[in-house]
Amino acid sequence: YREQSSSQAKREDWAQGVTLLWESGYTEGTVGFGLDLMGMVGLKLDDGARGEGGGGLMPRDKNGSSRDHYGKSAATAKVKYANS
């Protein structure tokens, strides 16, 4: 940030994310059922020195600072008919 009115010279973050995906097949029969599961985790490794963090890699908490970690999960039910 080159503006003199800026209170911060730069922003610097370091984070690592992991995504796990599990996909099932379908049950046997004319109508087959299946399930897919997904999990995501993000970990803040470093948020810079002297208040340089906040570059946008991590979600913010209620106070406006970047969170140390976060996670999400999702499930998808799936159905197939015959060979379609």
Q: Note the pLDDT tens digit of each residue in 49-76.
A: 665 566 778 888 888 777 889 999 999 9
pLDDT at 1 over 60: no
- Average of per-residue pLDDT across 79-83: 91
pTM over 0.75: no
Q: Six-digit token pair at 18?
A: 């992991």
Which residues fall within 8 angstroms of residue 51, CB to CB, at 6 or more apart? 8
Is the sign of the CA dihedral 61, 65, 46, 12 positive or negative?
A: positive
DSSP-derived letter for residue 60 is: B
Which residues fall within 8 angstroms of residue 30, CB to CB, at 6 or more apart? 81, 82
